[in-house]
């Protein structure tokens, strides 16, 4: 179960980083923005791994002998992508007005990685719905808090959160591969 929580924290770092950026640019109506960001990001981060899990279950019989390598590869790629994004500018720099459409697009963009990571749930000894609920709840909390962090401190923590998330995903990949 601890693996699911660590996975949830790592996956939520994308949404946390974007929430910090949103909060730093839009300091008025912070509570409303924090709630919207938490709900959008949490919902999509919770649903996308379920899609990945179901897809993984469908192909697991065909690739079972290589499943650990596939999970490792996916987590390595996702982690590397997060590290790369941590070293480059975020999309929230260009957002002037936050609408439901913008939040929806950001939620989808930040949760695509979670869909790929959902494949790894097939290898963990945990109920997939519980795992997805944990991932969604952790992301909701991190996103909610991220808006306030950004509104109070600016963007200095934004890339660090994404970098940490990428490193943790890579480490989880190595753990799946080696154990």
- Write out the chain's pLDDT in tens, 179 residues: 888 999 999 999 989 988 998 888 877 788 999 999 999 999 999 999 999 999 888 776 787 778 788 888 888 988 888 888 778 765 555 566 788 998 998 898 888 888 888 888 887 888 999 999 999 999 999 999 999 998 888 777 777 887 888 888 898 888 877 87
pLDDT at 36: 96
How far is C-alpha 139 from the chain's CA centre? 7
pLDDT at 129: 95
Please give the C-alpha separations between residue 50 and each of 20, 114, 121, 161, in angstroms, as whole numbers.
26, 9, 9, 24
Q: Any idea where the domains of the chain sit in the sequence?
A: 2-178
Sign for the CA dihedral angle at 8, 71, 163, 6 comes to positive
pLDDT at 21: 85
What tokens were used for 146? Answer: 């991220």
**Residue 82 near residue 14, CB atoms below 8 Å:** yes
pLDDT at 91: 54
**Residue 146 near residue 26, CB atoms below 8 Å:** no
DSSP structure class, residue 96: -
Q: Which residues of 111-120 are buried (b: 16+ CB within 10 A; e: fewer)?
A: bebbbbbbbb
pLDDT at 70: 83
CA separation for the pair 55, 78 (Å, rounded): 17
């Amino acid at each position: 179960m601890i693996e699911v929580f660590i996975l949830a924290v790592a996956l939520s770092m994308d949404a946390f980083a974007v929430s910090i950026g949103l909060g730093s640019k839009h300091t008025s109506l912070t509570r409303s923005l924090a709630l919207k960001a938490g709900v959008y990001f949490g919902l999509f981060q919770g649903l996308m791994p379920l899609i990945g899990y179901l897809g993984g279950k469908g192909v697991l019989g065909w690739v079972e002998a290589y499943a650990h390598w596939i999970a490792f590869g996916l987590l390595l790629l996702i982690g590397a992508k997060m590290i790369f994004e941590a070293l480059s500018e975020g999309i929230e720099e260009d957002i002037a007005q936050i609408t439901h459409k913008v939040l929806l697009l950001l939620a989808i963009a930040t949760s695509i990685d979670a869909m790929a990571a959902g494949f790894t749930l097939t290898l963990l000894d945990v109920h997939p719905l519980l795992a997805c609920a944990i991932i969604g709840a952790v992301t909701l909390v991190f996103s909610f808090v991220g808006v306030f962090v950004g509104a109070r401190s600016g963007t200095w923590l934004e890339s660090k959160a994404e970098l940490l998330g990428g490193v943790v995903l890579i480490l989880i990949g190595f753990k799946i591969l080696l154990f």
